[in-house]
Chains A and B, each alone.
Chain A
Amino acid sequence: MKYTEDDLKKELETKEYEYGFYTDIESETFPIGLNEDIVRAISAKKEEPQWMTDWRLESFRYWQQMEEPEWANVHYEKPDFQAISYYSAPNGKPKYDSIDDVDPELLETFAKLGISLDEQKKLAGVAMDVVIDSVSVATTFKSTLAEKGIIFCSISEAIREHPELVRKYIGSVVPQRDNFYAALNSAVFSDGSFCYIPKGVRCPMELSTYFRINQANTGQFERTLVIADEGSYVSYLEGCTAPSRDENQLHAAVVELIALDDAEIKYSTVQNWFPGNKEGKGGVFNFVTKRGICEKNAKISWTQVETGSAVTWKYPSCILKGDNSIGEFYSIAVTNNYQQADTGTKMVHIGKNTRSTIISKGISAGKSQNSYRGLVKINRRADGARNFSQCDSLLMGNACGAHTFPYIEVDNKTAQIEHEATTSKIGEDQIFYCNQRGIDTEKAIALIVNGFSKEVLNKLPMEFAVEAQKLLEISLEGSVG
């Protein structure tokens, strides 16, 4: 029997989210709702010092006065913040000395995700700080890193062990009252990663964490703080998958990067949270604040591949404070079915001779909406600033939308800004060309999409690039007939 495109389409439409499973680990979950007592309880649970508790409470008070932002080009039913449980930790011993002590069910979860710890250990080069529902349960390669003086641990541990560093830098890039979700995160963040690279150290391996939203009805509020001291280098990976759930799950993370003089941070994300089913039901709400600050000659590079989440609201930004600092943003955002993405970056040029590059590739299919929203701001004293922005959109079918909202604010005459955007579709001639050389339509589309996104894929570390390419294929399967 001939396998037609329609068959394929049907097959893909009914294809369930691959990573949609739910691990039953006895969780210790807080009652739903949010008030000062909950904030205090979270803080107490994590055995935090008084200053941290006060900081959380302060954030909570700011949050109460703020309103949920509505300017983004996304439409969704607003989450009820009183119907969410703000803390959930996998049960059992909080820490494991060896992999054998880890709950076997947890290990199975990782196996399903294709990231079993054993494998990871053997794979070498990748140290994992695994976050499953808020608490860090296993950390590998810690000793290797410790030799170099690199601190890589959960943020709760960092608050206990290295309070001087956390206290100095937390909230320094994303202040508590920065925005609605950042304030919420500051009040209730459950866990996250902390990383400190000492002066002049080049981190020998790619640091990575895996975030998963596991327990139903628990928002994940992780907080990441990466500090690269003078002249250091670090490459940090973050990857996400989440189980299939019908209710929308809220995810409001805050990531702060601090690159001191001459330091370089490379931050890569692959986000593949549950995007909702093909009717647009369920899926994760992803409201993330990511921002980095560059001191003199420093460099921050954001690379992201966004294929998941029902609603994405995410703008990894760079504040180019020091002279000669560099900010980069490479992004691929893929939306299918009823997904909505409003993503982009902010490049704020403050120092002299600062440079920034923005490459954004948006691919929309199905009934999805994909927006690029970016700001390039050149301050009055940022002499010789340079920016290049490129936003390309690829549309598949006429039920989806592509939007571009670039803001360019220039106060300095020596600035040089270039912005360009194009919109296109996959040409019939391109597909025909592939077809006549024996490549079927589905493969041809994957090929063309890969080519379209190549500039960004090339920026990903090896481990991620392969995964990302596969993700792109999976996300777009069946979207063109």
Chain B
Amino acid sequence: MDLKDKLLTSHIAFEDHLKADSPLHDLRSNALKVFEEKGFPSKKEENWKYTSLNSVLKEDYSFSPKGESVIEFKDVKKYFLHNVDTYKIVFIDGVYSSFLSETTHDNIDVCLLSSALDKSKYKPVIEAYFNKAAKKDGLTQLNTAFTKEGAFIHIPKNKEADKPIEIIYFSTGNEAAMFLQPRNLVVADENAHVQIIERHQSLSSNAVLTNAVTEIFADKRAMVDYYKIQNDVLSASLVDSTYVEQQRDSICSVHTFSFGGQITRNNLQFKQLGEHCDSILNGITIIGDKQHVDHNTLVHHIAENCESHQDYKGIFDDSSTGVFNGKVYVEKEAQKLDAFQQNNNILISDKATINAKPQLEIFADDVKCSHGCTIGQMDSEALFYMRSRGIGEKEAKALLMYAFANNVLESVKIPELKSRINKLIANKIGVSLGFEL
């Protein structure tokens, strides 16, 4: 029995555990039907041309943990931003861990999706937003069909989250391979501000496949900063779909830092519904071994006077593969637009591969749209310059890589997170420069 059949048969059991009159029942069964029809994506689909999930779909996954796993804080402390105070929403094998978490209902709501789905207090928000931005593709629908747990963040009008919010999904892999499907919902009302950091971390060497879906809604003048840290172990794979809908004058940014994992696929889709929106999509990818990272972005411009900025940098070593498939779609109403898309890549090894497809689809005439894509190596003259001044080859290379990725790093607004990512990059390149950028 393959994974698809297993998922389809397990859905009945899954629904049994939930309340029968759950308002989401219809939504779930409809979503399951779509998945049944579409199944897992194959390389024949244009959007999956360069990424095959076949190798990770072969595993015999279990869908829910049999027993409750306990993790000591000291064991996982390093995965948190420990030098700054944050709200924390922590899940272990898909189950909420109240012990490790720090939630709040004071002014803002930082809690669980499961409780938000149940409580009548949240009904208006859930009805207005849940599953409204998510696309109808197979994997997203699969997540919707199995929606049970995840983070729920709601920032009311004119409120600001007083500290960053960390969402961490641990998988213990205590019992063979795990298939996890977390679902996050972020709603920022008018003029609300929030910063969120999301991380998926496997604690064992058993295979983990995560099919995560996040929906972000930014109302008028809201500001949402979302950071994704992907530095998982090599046995873990991630399909991360994020859907953002913006109203007028809102600013949303999603930063993706991909350093780990076996196969990482990021689907990031922005929809600008009002004027003067700004969307920022940034990413740094540094991978080696046989890792595979695929960034699939779409910015859908519908309203006038908006902006979007995409900047993705990639450094690829060993037999790794990088994919960038970015698309800017400009409706004919979206005049006076400024859309920019940049993708720069460096190949370090002979066996590394890059597949890039930066696309523009434009139906409006008074717009400024441009994209650039480069693939190259480190400048040998720059390396020689540094080496002639007594900087070792490894350090000189690291410096160049830092400089290469710096643009994106500079736009991280949480200083503690920035230095953390700095360390991750240093670690990844294998040098310590003795200074922080």
Contact = CB atoms under 8 A, between A and B. Distances in A.
A130 to B, nearest CB: 40
A407 interface: yes
A416 B376 contact: yes
A409 B365 contact: no
B332 interface: yes
A402 B365 CA distance: 9
A418 B374 contact: yes
B360 interface: yes
B3 interface: no
Nearest to B334: A398
A406 B375 contact: no
Interface string B414-434: 000000000000000000000
A399 B353 contact: no
Secondary structure dominating the interface of B: strand
B42 interface: no
A402 B360 contact: yes
Contacts of A318: none
Given A420-B370, A423-B367, A409 B355 contact: yes
Contacts of A398: 332, 335, 363-366
Contacts of B350: 380, 412-413
Contacts of B369: 421-423
A415 interface: yes
Interface string B331-360: 010010000000001011111111111111
Contact of B373 (A71, A419, A423, A425): A419
Interface string B66-102: 0000000000000000000000000000000000000
Given A400-B363, A415-B347, A423-B367, A409 B354 contact: yes
B390 interface: no
B16 interface: no
A404 interface: yes
Interface string A150-190: 00000000000000000000000000000000000000000
A380 B359 CA distance: 25
B368 interface: yes
B370 A421 contact: yes
Interface in B366-400: 366-377
A425 B366 contact: yes
B375 A410 contact: yes
Nearest to A399: B332
A419 B356 CA distance: 10
Interface in A390-437: 393, 395-425
B26 interface: no
Interface in A352-403: 380, 393, 395-403
A395 B362 contact: yes
Nearest to A394: B365
Given A420-B372, A423-B369, A407 B362 contact: no
Contacts of A408: 354-357, 373, 375
A441 B210 CA distance: 59
A397 B365 contact: yes
Contacts of A409: 353-356
A145 B362 CA distance: 48
Given A393-B362, A417-B374, 12 more contacts: A395-B362, A405-B359, A406-B357, A409-B355, A409-B356, A410-B354, A411-B353, A413-B352, A415-B347, A419-B374, A423-B362, A424-B368
28 contacts: A393-B362, A395-B364, A398-B335, A398-B364, A400-B365, A403-B359, A406-B356, A406-B359, A408-B354, A408-B357, A408-B375, A409-B354, A410-B345, A410-B353, A410-B375, A411-B353, A413-B347, A413-B349, A413-B377, A415-B375, A416-B375, A416-B376, A417-B374, A418-B374, A419-B371, A419-B373, A420-B370, A421-B360
Interface of A: 71, 380, 393, 395-425
